[in-house]
């Protein structure tokens, strides 16, 4: 088209051809600009969502670290650093994006970038590149990429290999081999931005921000998932066996539930209470391998409960987990059962305590029958014998197999309460004291060698002073007549207190035998 003299017609054809090529080039350029524009806006929308997700995950980790510091505090501290480094690098990238917007201001009404006008990148190149390399702004950006990469790799380490690889691949600023000649390498900043349309550069920068925030989210959720995975790992599982009951007899059917639970000593409850006692969780002996160690002494024979609560704080609210268990105390094989056959005695008028058990059988499945026998609780009974000289206790039970068994009856002799003794100032029998002291004394009654500690009240008594008429006194203190008679006693006289009637405090219906008398020798 450049040689020889051309006819007007040929000149027109050549001109039209040049115009067509220009139009085709212009059309391709517009399509490219629009494609970059779409990439930019998709990245911008994703950035907003990623920011919101990261904030939510970090808030959840912060809450968990406060509720359970032992389990989540370290994870939260690392997550805070990841969140900080990601946001700081996103801010560095934003500086470059703001520069492009300064060169190509968005539409004031719609806020849209003038994509079709951003086909050239020479002005942005001048911002990043100098004749001998980078401008201070370009150099600062490359250092920001290097700093972000090294800090993130150090924070994440080997906890999340997938994120580590993406960081190494996406933020490696090493020179890049040329596509035309692999032996020729281009620096990272020139390879990615030099000569690129401005709309392409801002699209790449937005995509870079989106990648940073996405990796941050993957790291944060990975930390949390890793912590939970550790707690539920098979190496942290422990098998437990729950029996259908806690005591058995030979040949009994045993049913066991075997289940798995995760043991994690970092999941420390805020409070544990068992049988009314608060467990000190600061004591390492009380909390091992995620288990509370509760040590106590077994009580008397019978069924005993183990009740309490675990309390955890989640989302600021207390969550309680009930503890429900029980154990049975039976006569052990190393416990001799000894009885004095001639001493099987119960006393009329009293509540005689009796313990009734059948080894290997729960007290709730034991039945005891006798006249005047009443169960108080578990294996504890009281026997209130009535008339007669003996009472027999018959014991039966039902085993877990449904078999009914019966023990031979045990017979007790019934005896009356022995005769009480009179006392003055705690002394019994024959005593010596001044007549003035005797006149002011109270007369008491007691059973000094009796197996029951009974309190007796003196209702009346008689006083005999030598040479004087016997005086009858109601109550337990000397009346005026008795005092007058005692005042006339001589030194060496024996004053006798006899005919004493007394009753049991709280059981006035039982008629005690007459109380044994007391003799007092006058000492002045």
pLDDT digit string (tens) for 460-491? 999 999 999 999 999 999 999 999 999 999 99
Supply the pLDDT for residue 233: 41
Higher pLDDT residue, 27 or 386? 386
Residues 289 and 388 both lie in one domain: no
Give the residue, 391 or 215, on which the prediction is more confident. 391
| Residues 129 and 260 grouped into a single domain | no
Residue 246 maps to a domain: yes
| Residue 5 lies inside a defined structural domain of this protein | no
pLDDT at 186 over 80: yes
Cβ atoms of residues 200 and 36 within 8 Å: yes
The Cβ of residue 188 has, within 10 Å, a number of other Cβ atoms equal to 17
Q: What is the pLDDT of residue 224?
A: 63
For the stretch 59-94, pLDDT in tens is 888 887 887 776 778 888 888 898 999 999 999 999
Q: What is the pLDDT of residue 347?
A: 93
What number is the average pLDDT over the span 3-8? Answer: 54
Task: Give the domain-ending residue among 217, 232, 247.
Answer: 232
With 50 as the cut, is the pLDDT of residue 181 above it?
yes
Question: Across residues 13-27, what is the average pLDDT?
Answer: 47
pLDDT of 435 strictly over 50? yes
pLDDT in tens, 361-416: 788 888 999 999 999 988 889 999 988 899 999 999 887 777 888 888 999 999 99
Answer yes or no: is 192 within a domain. Answer: yes
pLDDT at residue 342, as a whole number: 59
Label residue 418 by pLDDT band (50, 70, 90): very high
Domain end marker among 232, 247, 278: 232
In this structure, the answer to whether residues 243 and 226 fall within a common structural domain is no
Closest C-alpha among 342, 343, 418, 352 to residue 385: 352
Q: DSSP of 5-51, one letter per residue?
A: PPPHHHHHHHHHHHHHHHHHHHHHHHHHHHHHHHHHHHHHHHHHHHH
Closest by CA position to 421, among listed 515, 519, 501, 496: 515
Regarding whether 408 and 429 lie in a shared domain, the answer is no
Residues 199 and 242 in one domain: no
* Count of structural domains, the chain: 4
In-domain check, residue 346: yes
Q: How far is CA 396 from each of CA 236, 307, 361, 380, rounded to the nearest angstrom? A: 47, 30, 11, 16
* Pick from 169-178, 269-278, 296-305: least confident: 296-305
**Could you tell me which residue, 46 or 323, shows the higher pLDDT?**
46
Where a domain ends, among 279, 299, 329? 329
Residue 271's region, left for phi above 0, alpha for psi from -120 to 50, else beta, is beta
Average pLDDT, stretch 171-176? 91
For the segment 22-47, the average pLDDT, to the nearest whole number, is: 70
Where is pLDDT greater, at 289 or 189? 189
With respect to residue 334, please indicate whether it lies within any of the assigned structural domains. Answer: no
Q: Positive or negative, the Cα torsion across 105, 110, 112, 116?
A: negative
Quick count: other Cβ atoms within 10 Å of Cβ 422? 22
Q: For 361-384, give the DSSP string.
A: S-GGGEEEE-TTEEEEETTEEEE-
Classify residue 4: in a domain, yes or no.
no
- Whether residues 372 and 452 share a domain: the answer is no
User: Does the predicted TM-score (pTM) go above 0.85?
Assistant: no
Of residues 334 and 290, which shows the higher confidence score? 290
In angstroms, rounded to a whole number, what is the distance separating the alpha carbons of residues 217 and 78? 13
Calculate ∠ Cα 457-460-465, nearest 5°: 125
The answer as to whether 6 is a domain residue is no
Q: What is the pLDDT of residues 499-518, one digit of tens each?
A: 999 999 988 888 899 999 99
> Is 75 found in the same domain as 186?
yes
> How high is the pLDDT of residue 266?
52
Q: What is the mean pLDDT of the chain?
A: 81
**Least confident interval from 43-47, 252-256, 356-360, 450-454:** 252-256
**Are 245 and 224 in the same domain?**
no
- Assess whether 76 and 223 both reside in one domain: yes
471: CATH: 2.60.40
Give CA–CA dist 100/201, Å, rounded.
Answer: 8
Q: Are residues 360 and 437 in the same domain?
A: no
Whether residue 108 sits in one domain with residue 247: no
pLDDT at position 398 is 86
Q: Which of 236-245, 279-288, 496-505 has the lowest mean pLDDT?
A: 236-245
Encoded tokens for 200: 């392409």
User: What is the average per-residue pLDDT within 5-28?
Assistant: 50
163 shares a domain with 142:
yes
Q: What is the pLDDT of residue 21?
A: 43
Is 2 a residue whose pLDDT tops 70?
no
> Is 60 part of any domain?
yes
Q: Which domain holds residue 25?
A: 12-232
CATH number, domain containing residue 380: 2.60.40.10
pLDDT at 426 over 70: yes
| Mean pLDDT on 249-264 | 56
């Amino acid at each position: 088209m450049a040689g020889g003299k051309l006819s007007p017609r040929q000149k027109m054809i050549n001109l039209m051809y040049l115009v067509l090529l220009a139009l085709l080039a212009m059309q391709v350029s517009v399509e490219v600009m629009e494609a970059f524009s779409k990439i930019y806006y998709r990245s911008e929308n994703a950035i907003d969502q990623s920011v919101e997700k990261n904030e939510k995950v970090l808030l959840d980790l912060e809450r968990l670290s406060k509720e359970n510091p032992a389990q989540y505090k370290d994870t939260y501290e690392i997550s805070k650093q990841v969140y900080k480094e990601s946001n700081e690098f996103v801010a560095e990238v934003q500086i470059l994006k703001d520069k492009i917007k300064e060169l190509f201001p968005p539409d004031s009404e719609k806020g849209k970038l003038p994509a079709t006008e951003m086909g050239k990148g020479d002005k942005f190149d001048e911002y990043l590149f100098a004749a001998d390399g980078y401008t201070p702004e370009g150099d600062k950006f490359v250092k920001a990429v290097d700093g972000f990469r090294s800090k993130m790799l150090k924070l994440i380490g080997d906890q999340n290999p997938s994120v580590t690889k993406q960081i190494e691949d996406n933020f490696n600023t090493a020179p890049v081999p040329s596509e035309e000649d692999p032996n020729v390498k281009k620096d990272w900043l020139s390879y990615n931005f030099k000569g690129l349309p401005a709309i392409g550069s801002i699209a790449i920068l937005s995509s870079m921000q989106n990648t940073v925030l996405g990796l941050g989210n993957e790291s944060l959720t990975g930390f949390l998932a890793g912590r939970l995975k550790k707690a539920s790992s098979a190496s942290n599982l422990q098998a437990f066996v729950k029996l259908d009951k806690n005591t058995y007899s030979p040949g009994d059917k045993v049913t066991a539930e075997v289940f798995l639970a995760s043991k994690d000593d970092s999941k420390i409850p805020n409070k544990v209470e068992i049988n009314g006692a608060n467990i000190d969780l600061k004591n390492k002996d009380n909390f091992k391998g995620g288990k509370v160690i509760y040590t106590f002494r077994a009580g008397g024979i019978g069924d005993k409960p183990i009740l309490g609560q675990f309390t955890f704080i989640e989302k600021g609210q207390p969550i309680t987990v009930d503890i429900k268990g029980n154990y049975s105390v039976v006569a052990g094989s190393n416990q001799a059962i000894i009885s004095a056959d001639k001493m099987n005695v119960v006393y009329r008028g009293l509540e005689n305590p009796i313990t009734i058990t059948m080894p290997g059988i729960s007290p709730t499945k034991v039945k005891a029958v006798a006249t005047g026998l009443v169960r108080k609780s578990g294996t504890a009974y009281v026997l209130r014998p009535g008339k007669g000289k003996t009472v027999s206790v018959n014991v039966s039970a039902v085993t877990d197999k449904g078999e009914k068994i019966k023990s031979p009856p045990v017979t007790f002799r019934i005896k009356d309460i022995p005769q009480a003794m009179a006392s003055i100032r705690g002394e019994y029998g024959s005593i010596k004291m001044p007549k003035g002291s005797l006149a002011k004394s109270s007369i008491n009654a007691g059973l000094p060698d009796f197996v029951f500690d009974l309190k007796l009240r003196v209702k009346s008594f008689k006083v005999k002073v030598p040479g004087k008429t016997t005086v009858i006194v109601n109550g337990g203190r000397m009346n005026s007549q008795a005092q007058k008679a005692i005042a006339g006693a001589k030194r060496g006289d024996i004053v006798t207190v006899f005919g004493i009637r007394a009753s049991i405090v709280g059981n006035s219906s039982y008629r005690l035998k007459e109380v044994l008398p007391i003799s007092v020798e006058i000492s002045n």
